[in-house]
Chains A and B, each alone.
Chain A
């Protein structure tokens, strides 16, 4: 069976400087599977999500590779068709909740618009679904909250509104970009359980961007470790936590705090590991430009 999302040999760079942002990325994501995408800040995690959803910034160009969504070759489709396919089958939980919401509109319509416009639901049905989902993401008093504006919600409430809104239209693929960073751990736990449950029930493919390996171990089936736009390890969660293969992945795991023991917590990834992975990437780049 082919995966719902297939990314093949995808490379991207900045138009003006030629600086490479993604380096021959391969990712497979079948329906019903949760794949974690981890790596340090600036590694290109959000960029991969944006490439899949067709919202790369104008300054970034794809130089090679393919993205298949449900078997359709996204990069070679007519733009209008591509937008329709992406709109109907995917959703994004964005990294920056406040800017993703329209500040001058109430919360309610921001969730129901998609249902009415994309699925053709009646306003009443969409509203009932929105209230139900807000309740499921543990928003207190949903009837009240749908009448509020984004600035009247706390950071974690905004993030939960966006999670509810992503699941509302029952997409086949969700790109969740750091979806729980603004949540305290108790709410995070409830929300991650809910995400797993909704995802399993609907067979959603979930690309889960996070820097938190603790979260990966609880909700993902497989993961890709990214460094400087290159996938340095692609593995299952069980194999990764038993024994990461790449030295960079191993260092990342070692640097993740375990329990709440301050002594074990938060060390930077050692310099020599970073130097080694940078050298590996430079060598791969050199080989790439020779053949290209």
Chain B
């Protein structure tokens, strides 16, 4: 099937602005996403970049339907999921996974790592998959017995990744998942994701501010600013001839590891 896995058109999201709520009457609306349209083809890796507060995480949460958009349309695998109620989303939850920016807050502190990874799986396949997923993200099997607070920041991040891949989803939305990792762990996680895309046909949307990671992994990139897409281009073109000034700025701000180069 040639049709895109995700088709997003005119996506809007606004929330009540509680900080400006008058004493009486409703709070004014704050627009976070202001009409966003793009497709994600099956098996593609899409990069999402943009400044802090530009709406990347909010867009991600809307795609995986953790929040309900206030306008526009999201088609997943041909099905309109824009306003699908919770009950009917349940079947989709396994197929669509999100790995969160704040690892600690997305891991249940009372469960062991093994239980966290196995929770969404059925008991029969559970243990083997847990061991496999830990191994894939470069953590020792013994970590299954640990609790989240007994891990380093990067180890927690990798538990979040292990939980998502153990589900064998069709789609993963990864929100800044390697920014807290050292180069070796980054390389390992990126290799793993590339392999899942190639061998299992995984489709991936990858939010990152690290353009060296984006250029390595993604075929196409969208650039967000103030809740809008300001650039949507193949990665190579974006690097060679960025058309929006913000993209240029992003490229210039990368710190090159050399103290003699002024920054």
Contacts and interface: CB of A to CB of B under 8 A. Distances in A.
Contact of B102 (A57, A99, A145): A99
Contacts of A38: 182
9 A-B pairs with the lowest CB-CB distances in the bound complex, closest first = A41-B154, A156-B52, A184-B209, A214-B255, A211-B182, A185-B253, A98-B102, A257-B212, A147-B19
A144 B20 contact: yes
A165 to B, nearest CB: 17
Contacts of A218: 255, 259, 263
B263 A255 contact: no
Interface string B214-248: 01100000000000000000000001000000100
Interface of B: 18-20, 49-53, 56-58, 101-105, 149-150, 152-156, 158, 175-176, 179-188, 190, 209-213, 215-216, 239, 246, 249-251, 253-261, 263
11 contacts: A40-B154, A144-B20, A155-B101, A182-B176, A214-B254, A218-B263, A241-B260, A259-B254, A260-B251, A265-B213, A268-B184
Nearest to B214: A260
Nearest to A40: B182
B215 A262 contact: yes
Given A57-B149, A241-B257, A96 B103 contact: yes
Given A98-B104, A186-B249, A217 B259 contact: yes
Nearest to B209: A184
A154 interface: yes
Contacts, number: 174
Nearest to B191: A268
Contact of A186 (B101, B149, B250, B258): B250
Nearest to B186: A266
Chain B residues touching A, majority SS: helix
Most buried by A among B103, B185, B212, B250: B212
Nearest to B239: A260
Contact of A96 (B20, B153, B210, B213): B153
A188 B252 CA distance: 12
Contacts of A260: 211-212, 215, 239, 251, 254
Interface residues of A, number: 62
A59 B150 contact: yes
Contact of B212 (A140, A252, A265): A265
B14 to A, nearest CB: 13
A155 B176 contact: yes
Contacts of A39: 182
Most buried by A among B158, B183, B186, B187: B183
Contact of B259 (A96, A99, A238, A252): A238
